[in-house]
Amino acid sequence: MTETKPRLGYVGLGLMGGPMAKRLLDAGYPLTVWNRAAAKTKPLADAGAVVVDSPAAVAGASDIVFACLTDTSAVEAVVFGPDGIASGAAKGTVLVDFSSIQPARTAALAQRLRDEAGMGWIDAPVSGGVPGATNGTLAVMAGGNQADFDKVAPVVAHLSGRFTLMGPNGAGQTTKLINQLIVGCGFAIVAEACQLAEDAGIDPARIPLALAGGRADSPILQQYMPRMAARDREVQARIAIMVKDLTTVMDEAKRLGSALPMTGLATELHKLLARRGLADADNAEIIQLYTPD
Protein backbone atom coordinates (compact mmCIF):
# COMPACT_ATOMS: atom_id res chain seq x y z
CA MET A 1 0.00 0.00 0.00
CA THR A 2 1.33 3.44 -0.93
CA GLU A 3 1.79 5.65 2.10
CA THR A 4 -0.17 8.91 1.93
CA LYS A 5 2.10 11.92 2.20
CA PRO A 6 1.08 14.63 4.68
CA ARG A 7 -0.37 17.81 3.21
CA LEU A 8 2.12 20.64 3.58
CA GLY A 9 1.77 24.39 3.75
CA TYR A 10 4.42 27.09 3.48
CA VAL A 11 4.21 30.79 4.38
CA GLY A 12 7.11 33.14 3.74
CA LEU A 13 8.79 32.54 0.37
CA GLY A 14 11.85 34.77 0.55
CA LEU A 15 15.54 33.97 -0.04
CA MET A 16 15.32 30.89 2.19
CA GLY A 17 11.65 29.95 2.11
CA GLY A 18 11.36 29.88 -1.68
CA PRO A 19 14.00 27.19 -2.33
CA MET A 20 12.93 25.21 0.74
CA ALA A 21 9.32 25.11 -0.47
CA LYS A 22 10.51 24.07 -3.94
CA ARG A 23 12.38 21.11 -2.44
CA LEU A 24 9.20 19.93 -0.74
CA LEU A 25 7.35 20.10 -4.05
CA ASP A 26 10.14 18.22 -5.78
CA ALA A 27 9.89 15.52 -3.11
CA GLY A 28 6.29 14.92 -4.15
CA TYR A 29 4.41 16.52 -1.25
CA PRO A 30 1.13 18.35 -1.92
CA LEU A 31 1.92 21.96 -1.09
CA THR A 32 -0.21 25.03 -0.38
CA VAL A 33 1.55 28.40 -0.17
CA TRP A 34 1.02 32.03 0.78
CA ASN A 35 3.34 35.02 0.74
CA ARG A 36 2.72 38.65 1.62
CA ALA A 37 4.21 39.69 -1.76
CA ALA A 38 2.10 37.52 -4.03
CA ALA A 39 4.55 37.65 -6.97
CA LYS A 40 6.93 35.35 -5.08
CA THR A 41 4.39 32.53 -5.24
CA LYS A 42 4.48 32.32 -9.05
CA PRO A 43 7.51 30.00 -9.44
CA LEU A 44 5.94 27.57 -6.97
CA ALA A 45 2.53 27.82 -8.62
CA ASP A 46 4.19 27.03 -11.94
CA ALA A 47 5.77 23.97 -10.29
CA GLY A 48 2.43 22.70 -8.98
CA ALA A 49 1.80 24.39 -5.62
CA VAL A 50 -1.65 25.70 -4.72
CA VAL A 51 -1.63 29.43 -3.96
CA VAL A 52 -4.17 30.74 -1.42
CA ASP A 53 -4.99 34.20 -0.15
CA SER A 54 -4.23 33.91 3.58
CA PRO A 55 -2.17 32.04 6.18
CA ALA A 56 -5.47 30.71 7.58
CA ALA A 57 -6.21 29.06 4.23
CA VAL A 58 -2.75 27.49 4.24
CA ALA A 59 -3.36 26.05 7.71
CA GLY A 60 -6.80 24.76 6.75
CA ALA A 61 -5.32 22.81 3.84
CA SER A 62 -2.30 21.38 5.69
CA ASP A 63 -1.22 18.75 8.20
CA ILE A 64 2.12 20.53 8.69
CA VAL A 65 2.64 24.25 8.11
CA PHE A 66 6.12 25.67 7.58
CA ALA A 67 6.93 29.34 8.11
CA CYS A 68 10.06 31.33 7.30
CA LEU A 69 9.58 34.97 8.27
CA THR A 70 11.69 38.00 9.07
CA ASP A 71 11.33 38.53 12.81
CA THR A 72 9.24 37.99 15.94
CA SER A 73 6.58 40.57 15.06
CA ALA A 74 6.13 39.08 11.59
CA VAL A 75 5.68 35.58 13.04
CA GLU A 76 3.13 36.78 15.60
CA ALA A 77 1.18 38.66 12.92
CA VAL A 78 1.09 35.72 10.51
CA VAL A 79 0.12 33.22 13.21
CA PHE A 80 -2.34 35.27 15.29
CA GLY A 81 -3.32 38.22 13.11
CA PRO A 82 -6.50 38.47 11.03
CA ASP A 83 -6.79 35.35 8.83
CA GLY A 84 -3.70 34.01 10.58
CA ILE A 85 -2.56 30.43 10.88
CA ALA A 86 -4.26 29.97 14.26
CA SER A 87 -7.69 30.80 12.83
CA GLY A 88 -7.42 28.07 10.19
CA ALA A 89 -5.56 25.37 12.10
CA ALA A 90 -6.97 21.97 12.98
CA LYS A 91 -6.20 20.22 16.25
CA GLY A 92 -3.25 17.89 15.96
CA THR A 93 -1.53 19.75 13.13
CA VAL A 94 1.96 21.22 13.61
CA LEU A 95 3.59 24.54 12.79
CA VAL A 96 7.32 24.37 12.04
CA ASP A 97 8.78 27.86 12.31
CA PHE A 98 12.10 28.23 10.50
CA SER A 99 12.29 31.93 11.44
CA SER A 100 14.97 33.17 13.82
CA ILE A 101 13.13 34.96 16.63
CA GLN A 102 13.29 35.60 20.37
CA PRO A 103 13.39 32.42 22.51
CA ALA A 104 11.05 33.61 25.27
CA ARG A 105 8.50 34.91 22.77
CA THR A 106 8.69 31.62 20.90
CA ALA A 107 7.77 29.68 24.02
CA ALA A 108 4.87 32.03 24.75
CA LEU A 109 3.55 31.95 21.18
CA ALA A 110 3.80 28.16 21.07
CA GLN A 111 1.77 27.83 24.27
CA ARG A 112 -0.83 30.24 22.95
CA LEU A 113 -1.18 28.28 19.70
CA ARG A 114 -1.68 25.03 21.60
CA ASP A 115 -4.25 26.64 23.88
CA GLU A 116 -6.21 28.41 21.15
CA ALA A 117 -6.00 25.99 18.24
CA GLY A 118 -4.65 22.68 19.52
CA MET A 119 -1.78 23.06 17.05
CA GLY A 120 1.75 22.00 17.93
CA TRP A 121 4.78 24.23 17.41
CA ILE A 122 8.36 23.32 16.59
CA ASP A 123 10.76 26.25 16.57
CA ALA A 124 13.28 25.25 13.93
CA PRO A 125 15.68 28.06 12.96
CA VAL A 126 18.20 27.10 10.32
CA SER A 127 21.83 27.67 9.39
CA GLY A 128 23.39 27.21 5.98
CA GLY A 129 22.14 30.16 3.98
CA VAL A 130 20.69 30.05 0.49
CA PRO A 131 23.06 27.26 -0.67
CA GLY A 132 21.88 25.07 2.21
CA ALA A 133 18.23 25.86 1.49
CA THR A 134 18.70 25.05 -2.19
CA ASN A 135 20.69 21.85 -1.65
CA GLY A 136 18.78 20.52 1.36
CA THR A 137 21.82 20.59 3.65
CA LEU A 138 20.64 23.03 6.33
CA ALA A 139 21.43 22.55 9.99
CA VAL A 140 18.08 22.83 11.77
CA MET A 141 17.93 23.43 15.54
CA ALA A 142 14.61 22.43 17.06
CA GLY A 143 12.61 23.24 20.17
CA GLY A 144 9.33 21.54 21.07
CA ASN A 145 7.95 18.23 22.25
CA GLN A 146 9.17 14.86 21.03
CA ALA A 147 5.88 13.78 19.44
CA ASP A 148 5.66 16.89 17.26
CA PHE A 149 9.34 16.58 16.36
CA ASP A 150 8.91 12.95 15.31
CA LYS A 151 5.86 13.87 13.19
CA VAL A 152 7.72 16.47 11.15
CA ALA A 153 11.21 14.93 11.05
CA PRO A 154 10.68 12.82 7.87
CA VAL A 155 9.60 15.95 5.99
CA VAL A 156 12.34 18.20 7.37
CA ALA A 157 14.83 15.54 6.24
CA HIS A 158 14.28 16.78 2.67
CA LEU A 159 15.56 20.20 3.73
CA SER A 160 18.35 19.44 6.16
CA GLY A 161 21.57 17.60 6.72
CA ARG A 162 20.90 17.68 10.46
CA PHE A 163 17.70 18.19 12.49
CA THR A 164 18.33 18.19 16.24
CA LEU A 165 15.80 18.51 19.06
CA MET A 166 17.48 20.70 21.69
CA GLY A 167 14.72 20.89 24.30
CA PRO A 168 11.30 22.50 24.77
CA ASN A 169 9.98 25.44 22.76
CA GLY A 170 12.57 28.22 22.68
CA ALA A 171 15.55 25.86 22.87
CA GLY A 172 15.90 25.80 19.09
CA GLN A 173 15.92 29.59 19.01
CA THR A 174 18.56 29.79 21.75
CA THR A 175 20.73 27.33 19.83
CA LYS A 176 20.39 29.48 16.71
CA LEU A 177 21.50 32.51 18.70
CA ILE A 178 24.63 30.59 19.69
CA ASN A 179 25.16 29.76 16.03
CA GLN A 180 24.78 33.42 15.05
CA LEU A 181 27.14 34.51 17.82
CA ILE A 182 29.84 32.26 16.35
CA VAL A 183 29.05 33.18 12.73
CA GLY A 184 28.80 36.93 13.32
CA CYS A 185 32.14 37.04 15.12
CA GLY A 186 33.56 34.76 12.41
CA PHE A 187 32.63 37.16 9.61
CA ALA A 188 34.44 39.98 11.40
CA ILE A 189 37.58 37.92 12.03
CA VAL A 190 37.73 36.55 8.48
CA ALA A 191 37.39 40.10 7.11
CA GLU A 192 40.31 41.23 9.28
CA ALA A 193 42.39 38.25 8.15
CA CYS A 194 41.55 39.01 4.52
CA GLN A 195 42.69 42.60 4.95
CA LEU A 196 45.92 41.56 6.69
CA ALA A 197 46.73 39.17 3.85
CA GLU A 198 46.12 41.89 1.25
CA ASP A 199 48.25 44.39 3.18
CA ALA A 200 51.06 41.82 3.33
CA GLY A 201 50.91 41.15 -0.41
CA ILE A 202 49.45 37.65 -0.02
CA ASP A 203 46.53 36.57 -2.17
CA PRO A 204 43.76 36.13 0.44
CA ALA A 205 41.91 33.71 -1.84
CA ARG A 206 44.75 31.23 -1.18
CA ILE A 207 44.46 31.41 2.62
CA PRO A 208 41.56 28.91 2.89
CA LEU A 209 43.57 26.34 0.91
CA ALA A 210 46.64 26.86 3.09
CA LEU A 211 44.67 26.55 6.34
CA ALA A 212 42.34 23.72 5.30
CA GLY A 213 42.26 20.99 7.93
CA GLY A 214 44.01 23.09 10.57
CA ARG A 215 42.51 24.55 13.70
CA ALA A 216 41.67 27.83 11.98
CA ASP A 217 39.63 26.07 9.32
CA SER A 218 35.88 26.57 9.16
CA PRO A 219 33.05 26.85 6.63
CA ILE A 220 33.13 30.63 7.14
CA LEU A 221 36.82 30.73 6.19
CA GLN A 222 36.33 28.44 3.19
CA GLN A 223 33.19 30.09 1.86
CA TYR A 224 33.65 33.74 2.75
CA MET A 225 37.31 34.68 2.47
CA PRO A 226 37.36 33.96 -1.30
CA ARG A 227 34.18 36.01 -1.66
CA MET A 228 35.63 38.88 0.36
CA ALA A 229 38.85 38.76 -1.67
CA ALA A 230 36.85 38.89 -4.92
CA ARG A 231 34.44 41.54 -3.56
CA ASP A 232 31.65 39.12 -4.52
CA ARG A 233 28.39 41.02 -3.96
CA GLU A 234 25.90 38.23 -4.59
CA VAL A 235 23.34 38.37 -1.77
CA GLN A 236 23.05 35.01 -0.02
CA ALA A 237 22.18 36.35 3.45
CA ARG A 238 21.56 39.98 4.35
CA ILE A 239 23.49 42.06 6.87
CA ALA A 240 20.13 43.27 8.24
CA ILE A 241 19.34 39.72 9.33
CA MET A 242 22.69 39.40 11.10
CA VAL A 243 22.08 42.72 12.87
CA LYS A 244 18.66 41.47 14.00
CA ASP A 245 20.06 38.15 15.24
CA LEU A 246 23.09 39.59 17.01
CA THR A 247 20.91 42.22 18.67
CA THR A 248 18.70 39.39 19.93
CA VAL A 249 21.81 37.58 21.20
CA MET A 250 22.80 40.64 23.21
CA ASP A 251 19.26 41.08 24.55
CA GLU A 252 19.23 37.46 25.67
CA ALA A 253 22.68 37.82 27.23
CA LYS A 254 21.45 40.81 29.22
CA ARG A 255 18.39 38.83 30.38
CA LEU A 256 20.56 35.88 31.47
CA GLY A 257 23.46 37.91 32.85
CA SER A 258 25.95 36.49 30.31
CA ALA A 259 29.05 38.49 29.42
CA LEU A 260 29.65 38.52 25.63
CA PRO A 261 32.22 41.24 24.90
CA MET A 262 33.41 39.91 21.53
CA THR A 263 29.85 39.39 20.34
CA GLY A 264 29.03 42.93 21.42
CA LEU A 265 31.80 44.26 19.18
CA ALA A 266 30.65 42.10 16.24
CA THR A 267 27.13 43.43 16.75
CA GLU A 268 28.30 47.03 16.57
CA LEU A 269 30.37 46.34 13.43
CA HIS A 270 27.34 44.92 11.66
CA LYS A 271 25.20 47.84 12.83
CA LEU A 272 27.82 50.20 11.38
CA LEU A 273 27.52 48.44 8.01
CA ALA A 274 23.76 48.87 8.11
CA ARG A 275 24.12 52.58 8.93
CA ARG A 276 26.38 52.92 5.89
CA GLY A 277 23.58 51.74 3.64
CA LEU A 278 24.54 48.06 3.43
CA ALA A 279 21.64 46.55 5.36
CA ASP A 280 20.47 44.64 2.29
CA ALA A 281 23.97 43.66 1.20
CA ASP A 282 25.53 40.25 1.77
CA ASN A 283 27.48 39.35 4.90
CA ALA A 284 30.69 39.24 2.83
CA GLU A 285 30.45 43.04 2.53
CA ILE A 286 31.86 43.37 6.04
CA ILE A 287 35.19 43.62 4.23
CA GLN A 288 34.14 47.16 3.31
CA LEU A 289 34.79 48.25 6.89
CA TYR A 290 38.48 47.63 6.17
CA THR A 291 38.77 48.44 2.46
CA PRO A 292 35.81 50.58 1.31
CA ASP A 293 35.47 50.72 -2.46
Q: Residue 50 maps to which CATH number?
A: 3.40.50.720
Coil, helix or strand at residue 17: helix
Structural domain of residue 17, as residue ranges?
Answer: 8-167
| pLDDT for the residue numbered 1 | 41
> Any idea what the CATH number is for the domain that residue 251 is in?
1.10.1040.10
* Same-domain pairing of 159 and 191: no
* Same-domain pairing of 258 and 218: yes
Task: Write down the mean pLDDT value for the chain.
Answer: 95
* Same-domain pairing of 163 and 24: yes
> Does a structural domain hold residue 225?
yes
Contact call for residues 79 and 109 (beta carbons, < 8 A): yes
> Does a structural domain hold residue 48?
yes
Active site residue 5: no
| pLDDT for the residue numbered 293 | 60
Give the pLDDT means over successive 10-residue stretches in the chain (293 positions): 82 95 96 95 95 97 96 95 96 97 95 98 94 96 98 98 97 96 96 96 97 96 96 90 94 95 97 96 94 67
* Same-domain pairing of 130 and 30: yes
| pLDDT for the residue numbered 21 | 97
* Same-domain pairing of 117 and 184: no
Count of domains observed in the chain: 2
Which is catalytic among the residues 176, 244, 254, 271?
Answer: 176
Question: Over the stretch 174-229, which tens digit does the pLDDT of each residue have?
Answer: 999 999 999 999 999 999 999 999 999 999 999 999 999 999 999 999 999 999 99
> Does a structural domain hold residue 202?
yes
Distances (CA, A) of 30 to 7, 27, 47, 215, 245: 5, 9, 11, 45, 32
| pLDDT for the residue numbered 292 | 65
Quick count: other Cβ atoms within 10 Å of Cβ 121?
24
* Same-domain pairing of 208 and 236: yes
